[in-house]
Amino acid sequence: MRIVMLGGTGQLGAILTRHSRRKGAQVTVFGREAFSSPEQLAGGLEQSDVCINLAGRNVNCRYNEANRRAIYNSRVETTRLLNHVISSLKHPPRVWLNASTATIYRHSLDRAMDESGELGGNEPGAPECWNFSIEVAKAWEEATHPTRGFR
């Protein structure tokens, strides 16, 4: 099985790559350079079986304007580009797994949040940066939705 690991040079990518190789997969790892052009991305993905996209500027930083832009673009714009490229491939990967975040859910102490959890946003008293993270998460997931012509 041929796996393409985008955003694979980071913490999760290293763990997943090690695990997948132990299981016998052929893993090609890319960092941010993979997103420098649609052609480059397409070249890496054509004929692959699985695409795993973990790209995203690390959130362990101050949430100033520049870092917020980087947090958003490195997730949402890269995923939009990936969506566009996958939909244009002759032989797209059969499976595309994309990173997301539990931050999309409301902050909850009353119940666990799983796939049937409630989306967060504008809870009374929540700090503004929480809403920013939730908006990033929603846009990030939205960017994976099928585009016209997606197979």
Phi, psi (rounded to 5 degrees) for 30:
-125, 145
Looking at the DSSP bridge assignments, the partners of residue 51 are 4, 96
CB of 25 to ligand NAP, least distance (A): 18
CB of 26 to ligand NAP, least distance (A): 19
Nearer to ligand NAP by Cβ, of 37 and 58: the residue is 58
Nearer to ligand NAP by Cβ, of 48 and 133: the residue is 133
Distance CA 56, CA 70 (A): 8
Distance CA 52, CA 7 (A): 8
Give yes or no for a contact between 101 and 58, defined as CB atoms under 8 angstroms apart.
Answer: no
Nearer to ligand NAP by Cβ, of 43 and 91: the residue is 43
Distance CA 85, CA 104 (A): 26
81 touching ligand NAP, by CB under 6 A: no
Residue among 57, 2, 56 nearest 29 (CA): 2
Number of residues near ligand NAP (by CB under 6 A): 21
Please report, as residue ranges, which positions from 114 to 143 form the binding site for ligand NAP (by CB under 6 A): none
76 touching ligand NAP, by CB under 6 A: no
- Give contact residues for ligand NAP (rule: CB under 6 A): 7-13, 31-32, 35, 54-58, 70, 74-75, 78, 99, 101
